[in-house]
Structure 1
Amino acid sequence: MTDTPSRSRDLQARAVALLWRSLARRRLSTLWRLARLVGPLVQGISRREREVTRINLAEVYAERSETARRRLRRESLVHSSATMLELGFAWLGPADRVEASILEVHGRELLDEARAGGRGVIVLAPHFGNWEVLNFWLSGHFPFTAMYEPPKLTALDPLIRRGRERQGARLVPTTSRGVAALLKALKRSEAVGILPDQVPHWGSGVFAPFFGRPAYTATLLPKLVARTEARVVTGVARRLPGRGFAIHFLPADERVYAPDEATSAAGVNASVEATIALAPAQYQWEYKRYRKTPEEAEGRPDFKRFRLY
């Protein structure tokens, strides 16, 4: 007897893969026009995305007027829609077309100088602009390793892996084995990518301010820095609507190098804030960055320091 949920997931995965392949053939200008149509639909139909974005923006930009925040919310949902529509382009589009879409690169010297000095580079890549285009560029220009968690629709895993690895990136699991692979890559003076704005599991982070409010933040970074003396930069692919992308690498806040985990985490969040300032509408505000709270942490047996394996 056929497993109905499994069959349903397979059908969903095939539909998504077909959509990505179709969108991969479209021009970026066409995808941007589609995003401008889809964004308002998301705002109107998806209460979750609309409300989480509204709450986050009210928290972060309390000094702005309600009208300004509402405008930013609309722009943010359009950019988030564009990112989803561009996945097929980033993973499946001809490599020369993706490369040609990267119209500007700022701050590359930060990576070159670190590697020339025999140091690895940790790239903090927040959910800003199109992070898959950033991965494409990094893996095409540097030996690059990044952590990877398979999608919920497991049938999509081979397609996503091929897309992310096609320029030479090495994907490693979000486990102790993956952490060990990052350490080895950094000791070889290579580049590694870390998502600095995902909420980690309890026991794997500390609370640090993010736009003035406590956010549970991963503590992997200070361990990697302490063991490798790597340099840290933030990296994003800022969307140039309908035209392409501008890659930006910025020096991380100096606190990221502190051995104290809370201080380092504060530096990570400050680094992300500085990147968001490039174009606030291009940050993924519909993510529940504050969903874990200090009050919730009190008394938890697993609320402890992260151990690097």
Structure 2
Amino acid sequence: MTTIPSAHSRRAGAVAWLWRRLAGWPLARLWRLARLAGALVYRLSRREREVTRRNLAAVYPELDAKSRRALTRRSLHHSAATMLELGHAWMAPPERVAAGIVAVRGRDKLDSARQEGRGVIVLAPHFGNWEVLNFWLSSHFPFTAMYEPPKMAALDPVIRHGRERQGAALVPTNARGVAALLKALKRHEAIGILPDQEPGWGSGVFAPFFHRDAYTATLLSKLVARTRARVVTGVALRVPGQGFEIHFLDADQRVYSAEEVTSATGVNASVEAAIALDPAQYQWEYKRYRKVVQEQQGRPDYRDFRLY
């Protein structure tokens, strides 16, 4: 009996096929294609365009309308490039991916921490191409990161293989995964944390992100409290048409605070410092301010913010 693939399976197969084809393209050609794809997203995807525009209006109120439109276009261009480069990061020969990393800045922060017998927590925001950052980290250090399977389940083996192929250990986004992160840090290894993804209710606190409260995970403060880990911010900055520069930046000192709001404020300040390298390379189409606090009769009322 012949099994007919579901619509989800066919869609996943088409996406994986596209990644495999694009994995053979040079980065300069992918960047040119991203220019076209980004322009189409700007023109045809109201959701992506409007969320990006509103986020930029919130964090850069000093920009005039013309500058904001230009930054929105550049941001969507970079976001399109990231999606098109996934095949490169996950499927291209490792030596070719490594050759596309044209510089590594701040590696000494990781090396010195491990020499001191300390683990390293890498804050990896959605900036540049974070899959290239994963590739580099797992190629040079024992590296553990949390992983949540994609909504399109048929893509799970493709994504998992791409992220694990250089030796990264992927752990679930639950208590078992947190325990694995702690064990890795106690072995003086490196782990990755997504600092700019909204957690579920009860797993975060409100802390300022570009002077506006954003619901921010408290996992980092829990990990720091139980280890002597050093915290750095890591990004793969795109050098359009040429490759990527890996940057490791010292985290804001407030991340080491035992007080959760203070620590979360330090996390967000660390992300802001990375964004300053090139604001267009941050994924502004993510609804970072989705959750808000309303004061009603002196008591906070937490809710989802869905105006855009």
- TM-score by shorter chain over 0.5: yes
Displacement of 1:298: 3.3
**Partner of 2:74 in structure 1?**
75
**Partner of 1:298 in structure 2?**
300
Q: 1:253 to 1:25 in 2, by over 3 A?
A: same
Q: How many residues align?
A: 300
| Separation in 2, partners of 1:2, 1:197 | 45
Task: State how 1:227-306 maps to structure 2 within 5 Å.
Answer: 227-295=226-294, 298-299=300-301
Q: Can you list the C-alpha shifts for 1:91-132, whole angstroms capped at 9, x where unaligned? A: 001100000000000000000010000000000000000000
| Separation in 2, partners of 1:40, 1:129 | 18
Task: State how 1:21-100 maps to structure 2 within 5 Å.
Answer: 21-100=20-99
Displacement of 1:2: 10
- 8 Å contact kept, 2:293–2:302: no
Q: Secondary structure at the match of 1:293?
A: strand
**Counterpart residue type for residue 144 of structure 1:** F
**Partner of 1:133 in structure 2?**
132
CA RMSD of aligned residues (A): 1.7
Q: Secondary structure at the match of 2:112?
A: helix
**Partner of 2:172 in structure 1?**
173
| Separation in 2, partners of 1:221, 1:262 | 11
| Separation in 2, partners of 1:279, 1:242 | 16
| Separation in 1, partners of 2:35, 2:72 | 13
Q: 1:33 to 1:119 in 2, by over 3 A?
A: same
Q: Can you list the C-alpha shifts for 1:174-231, whole angstroms capped at 9, x where unaligned? A: 0100000000000000000000000000000000000000000000001100101100
**2:111 corresponds to 1:112:** yes
**Counterpart residue type for residue 39 of structure 1:** G
**Partner of 2:194 in structure 1?**
195
**Partner of 2:306 in structure 1?**
none
Gaps of at least 5 residues in structure 1 are 302-309
| Separation in 1, partners of 2:66, 2:2 | 52
Identity percentage over the alignment? 71
- 8 Å contact kept, 2:23–2:85: yes
Displacement of 1:294: 1.2
| Separation in 1, partners of 2:274, 2:182 | 25
- 8 Å contact kept, 2:128–2:281: yes
**Partner of 1:305 in structure 2?**
none
| Separation in 1, partners of 2:152, 2:20 | 17
**Counterpart residue type for residue 300 of structure 2:** E
